[in-house]
Amino acid sequence: MKGKIGFEETFAIKETLEFSRAFAGESGNWGNFSRQILDLDEERLEIMNKNGIEYALLSLNSPGVQAILNPDKAMRIAKKANDTLAYAISKYPQHYGGMATLPLHNPDMASEELIRCVKELGFKGIMVNGFQQIVHPDHVKFYDFPEYRSFWATVSELEVPFYLHPRMPIPSRSQNYDGHPWLMSAPWGFGVETSIHSLRLCGSGLFDDYPNLRICLGHLGETIPFALNRLEERMLFSPRGYRGKRPIGDYFRDHFHLTCSGNFNDAAFRCTLNVIDHDKIYFSTDYPFETMEDAASWFDNTKVISNETREKIGRTHAINLFKLDLE
């Protein structure tokens, strides 16, 4: 399929490159990987073209500024990343769009940079890499905390999608991974961390306060679609601490938008489509952690969907979600 749009497509700047080594550099391919993730020019565009990907909304590599403890340093790097991306977009506006990098040490700081990114740089959405560390490595903040309501008010007012991207859990809080570090990153821990954070948002009353919020998740929903029925049923018996006014499944189905990034599997795709309407499912690749070739080859040939639906998931839905000015 030609004309695909992806929006879990990653770049790095020199200040954040090493953040990816822990889960991308142990295969002996660090040289190729680092070249690809830093590149915003010919190589990336050539690979996109070869695989029928017309347009990519780019975002900073995980954990990015969410792992920078000092808020002033995080803001400096966020602004540099956003400005670097804005320059690339100015060179290739027909192929690139922007997802804002935001330091979330406090809501005012995040809102200020978000407004700049949307109103001055023309970015289309937000990419946040999980919880925010601040002051001390073991001090983390999740975005269901009441202090973030003013930030969510800004997101709601600007009407831009918020992509919650995975990051590894904090080792001091993760004794269940002891002795098995392979579990902590992409194979398992990424999905666990992101799904719990997503469910916290659902259970916090956030979507009652701001009913137009749209949250994006990768990897076909970080396993939530596969467990949603059991989650809904058991919540009938153990709702202690749940602050939503509606069933948790309602919030997930109404407010969450899922990409197939890094999960190119027919069985998982079929299950997701059975749980979430296809108008909330999208193509993406997770490049360069995954190859565009693998993503496009699977998506272009899967028999789970018709060609008409393939066009919508691969392109049309993203144009509508991000209000893209593409034909």
3-state SS of the chain?
CCCEEEEEEEECCCCCHHHHHHHHCCCCCHHHHHHHHHCCCHHHHHHHHHCCEEEEEEEECCCHHHHCCCHHHHHHHHHHHHHHHHHHHHHCCCCEEEEECCCCCCHHHHHHHHHHHHHHCCCCEEEECCCEEECEEEEEECCCCHHHHHHHHHHHHHCCCEEECCCCCCHHHCHHHCCCHHHCCCCCHHHHHHHHHHHHHHHCCHHHHCCCCCEEECHHHHCHHHHHHHHHHHHCCCCCCCCCCCCHHHHHHHHEEEECCCCCCHHHHHHHHHHCCHHHEECCCCCCCCCHHHHHHHHHHCCCCCHHHHHHHHHHHHHHHHCCCCC
Q: How many residues make up the chain in this entry? A: 327
Give me Rg for the CA atoms of the chain. 19
φ/ψ of residue 98, rounded to 5:
-120, 140
Q: Which of 41, 254, 286, 325 is catalytic?
A: 286
pLDDT attached to residue 77 = 98
pLDDT attached to residue 23 = 77
Pick the CATH number of 4-322 from 2.60.120.380, 3.20.20.140, 3.50.40.10, 3.40.50.720: 3.20.20.140
pLDDT attached to residue 27 = 60
> Count of CB atoms within 10 A of residue 136's CB?
8
Q: 261: which strand partners?
A: none
Q: Is the pTM of this model over 0.85?
A: yes
φ/ψ of residue 16, rounded to 5:
-115, -5
The single residue listed with the structure tokens 């290739």 is 92
Domain ranges of the chain: 4-322
Interatomic CA distance for residues 24 and 321, integer angstroms: 30
Task: State yes or no: is 39 an active-site residue.
Answer: no
Can you list the residues of the chain whose pLDDT is less than 50? none
